[in-house]
Structure formats: structure tokens, C-alpha cells
Amino acid sequence: MGQGLYTLNYLGLAMLAAAALVVPLLPILLARVIAPKKPGSTKQSPYECGVPAAGDPWSQFRVQYYLYAIAFVVFDVEVLFLYPWAVVFKSAGLAGFAAMAAFLLVLAAGLVYLWQKGALEWD
């Protein structure tokens, strides 16, 4: 397949993304016509097991979530570096393998550090 023809694939993906909007939009719009509409203050209050809602849910939450998120960003970026290497792994030979092994050891050291520091503990 030539380069010009190959870029057509991306046009195909764009077409699919646009056409795929029909699948969620059609039933939502159809339901809008068919379904009854009777809003009320009790019905529209946020669900809290039948008692009146106390406090605003849009408030502070555990800092632990941020720690996991930061760890995720670090590892995800490093993993992205792994992919181009993985594609050429066979032709990179022993030197390429050794270089990536060293990189993985650094990653592993980072994981050990996180673990030691207690960043992976929930409580």
C-alpha cells in the first residue's frame, strides 16, 4: 500500500468516529420523544438511600488518589518509550537489549522507592 493510500486509513477512522455518533444519539433523541417527562423536586434530588442529601459531594477527597495518579503518569510515559524500542527490538541486537534492560532497572528502582516510601499503601 502506498503512502497516499495509507493515509486514507485515517480518513476512515474519522468517518467511523463521525458515523458512530449515530449509535448513542439516535436512541437518546428517540427516548426524548417517547419517554414521559414529569420532573419533581423529590425525584430530582441526588440518590442517598432515601434520606435527604447531606452536604455537597463536590468537596475534598483523599490525597491518595493523587499519589496513584502521579505514579501512573511516571510509569505510563516510561512505558511509551518502551514501544518504539519494542518494534525494533529484533534488529537492535544485544546492545539494544542491554540498553533497555538498564532502563527497566531504573524503572524498577523507582517502583521499589515508591513502595518503600509507602506511596502504594492505601491506609
Partner 1 sequence: MGLALLIRMGVGIVLILALAPVIMMYLTWLERKVIARIQDRFGPTRVGRYGLLQPLADGVKMLTKEDIVPAGADHWLHTLAPIVIVVPVLMLFAVLPLGPRWIVTNLNTGLLFFLAVTSTQTIAIFMAGWGSRSKFSLLGALRTVAQLAAYEVPMVLSLATVVMISGSLSTTAIVEAQQARWFVATPWGFTAFVIFLLCALAEVNRTPFDLPEAESELVGGFHTEYSGMKFALFYMAEFLGAFAISALGAALFLGGWRGPWLPGWLWVLVKTYGLVLVMIWIRGTWPRFRIDQLLAFAWKCLLPVSLTNVLATGLWAVCPWPWGTLAAVVLIAAAFLTTSQLWIPKSCKAPERVVS
State which amino acid sits at residue 6. Y
Which of 3, 52, 65, 118 touches partner 1 by CB under 8 A? 65
Nearest Cα residue to 110 out of 80, 89, 79, 88: 79
Among the listed residues 3, 43, 51, 52, the single contact to partner 1 using CB under 8 A: 43
CB neighbour list of residue 100: distance below 8 Å, 6 or more residues apart: 82, 85, 89
**Interface with partner 1 in residues 76-95 (CB under 8 A):** 76, 79, 82-83, 86-91, 94
The one-letter amino acid code at 35 reads A
Residue 17 lies near partner 1 (rule: CB under 8 A): yes
- With contact defined as beta carbons under 8 Å apart, do 96 and 88 qualify? yes
Q: Does 21 contact partner 1 by CB under 8 A?
A: yes
Find the binding residues for partner 1 in span 44-63 (CB under 8 A): 44-49, 53, 56-58, 61-62
CA angle 30, 34, 37 (to 5 degrees): 115
Q: How far is the CB of 12 from partner 1 (least distance, A)?
A: 4
Q: Which of residues 102-121 bind partner 1 (CB under 8 A)?
A: 104, 107-108, 111, 114-115, 120
